[in-house]
Structure 1
């Protein structure tokens, strides 16, 4: 049976479903739960990379753009920690031994790396339903994890299409 469940989540509707499924399973089998959020430029709510037109001509303006991006990225990090703390508190209140971590990088690789280092028995990930050309161009975190994780993988799919979900916006104070 499962003793260590790793839930890879974000602020999306699928992220909430991943958490709910992982929590229910961990509670049912009395497993430890690790919540993971990967800071990635691929996440919808991550700040857009700054563009540097005419880089050599206006170095002060480039510094301003970079500083603005840094503030947005720091807000993105804080929002991720706030989400993880909130979900960890919820899981602990439900009687599940829970911890969390947040890392930066490629989501698929980060999930598999933590699964191996933490010795997870199960990884729970969301599945956005990409296939065909969309998956080829954009990639699929769940597909990567399914093929590279050192343990079993559970992919959570929404009952409705993800595109129909309202977009979550990130402000300097967090997710809205």
Structure 2
């Protein structure tokens, strides 16, 4: 009997600013979540954080000491003008993208101040957020209101949520996650990633989403007495059987074993085979002989070009 599971996307948080990275994140989220609303996805929160670097820049234009300026009526008025003229328009634009995709859930626009990463994590914890979808920035600029290091903070501190780091390519036609590449290593986080991939796939009509399960063995762990390859095949077979139990048809499952540097190999296959979504654990197995290391998720995010990377909770 099939075990119907529901993806962790009931309440979704999308950190945004006025740039192309946020636009891609919103477009991906709208195309993914709209068909699943309001039955599965009920609420989407668009959050914009005014960072200290931005506030300092604004304060430098006012002749008051910075430690006093945040509470001054003049500065509050300047910030409010910025919000009305600059922030609210792009938040409305992003909300409109959801409406154009026929999203039927609730959309809330949130504007707050503070360190972006910390504010996002705190909001997620206080509002029962299950997944965070955010753009990927390869570099940071001190003057930006949304720092490039924000995604790093969220990945490391949002321990209860799935975190999706959007790639450079978002599918324009059909399901935005028509193929999911799941990297498994036998760890609990990778098992969570596998189950979430199955939950997403079964939320769409049969055959719309296919799942490929892979594991990677680093050659440095191989020798004539090595059990790594045998263990890897056992992990893949167990993953395949679990997908079948969760309602994924055998014709929609692919499995394979690769040899090489795990981070580079996962990213390379995802880009070359046009997988729009990679699902994996944020941390891997403990011990020297782990197949997919916890740090692999970070390397995949930095190496992959087109695919979105979905990281399971710790």
Q: TM-score, normalised by structure 2?
A: 0.38
Report if the CA contact (8 A) 2:12-2:130 is conserved: yes
Q: Which has the larger radius of gyration?
A: 2
Once residues 43 and 10 of structure 1 are traced to their aligned partners in structure 2, the CA distance between those partners, rounded to angstroms, is 14
* Count of residues in Structure 1 that have an aligned counterpart in Structure 2: 143
Aligned to 2:139: 130
Alpha-carbon distance change, 24 to 75 in structure 1, aligned in 2, over 3 angstroms: same
Partner of residue 107 from structure 2, selected from 93, 99, 114: 99
The SS at the match of 1:147 is helix
Partner of residue 27 from structure 1, selected from 20, 26, 34: 34
CA RMSD between the two structures? 3.5
| Pairing 1:106-125 to 2, within 5 Å after superposition | 106-125=115-134
Once residues 121 and 64 of structure 2 are traced to their aligned partners in structure 1, the CA distance between those partners, rounded to angstroms, is 38
Residues 135-159 of structure 1 deviation map (CA, whole Å, 9 limit, x = unaligned): xxx6511111111112110001325
Once residues 83 and 10 of structure 1 are traced to their aligned partners in structure 2, the CA distance between those partners, rounded to angstroms, is 11
Aligned to 1:170: none
Partner of residue 144 from structure 1, selected from 147, 153, 158: 153
Report if the CA contact (8 A) 1:84-1:100 is conserved: no
Once residues 163 and 121 of structure 2 are traced to their aligned partners in structure 1, the CA distance between those partners, rounded to angstroms, is 10
Alpha-carbon distance change, 103 to 27 in structure 1, aligned in 2, over 3 angstroms: same
Once residues 107 and 34 of structure 1 are traced to their aligned partners in structure 2, the CA distance between those partners, rounded to angstroms, is 18
Report if the CA contact (8 A) 1:26-1:33 is conserved: no
Alpha-carbon distance change, 54 to 139 in structure 1, aligned in 2, over 3 angstroms: same
Deviation at residue 4 of structure 1 after TM alignment: 2.4
Report if the CA contact (8 A) 1:121-1:152 is conserved: yes
Aligned to 2:16: 9
Alpha-carbon distance change, 31 to 82 in structure 1, aligned in 2, over 3 angstroms: closer
Report if the CA contact (8 A) 1:33-1:96 is conserved: no
Report if the CA contact (8 A) 1:7-1:125 is conserved: yes
Report if the CA contact (8 A) 2:27-2:97 is conserved: no
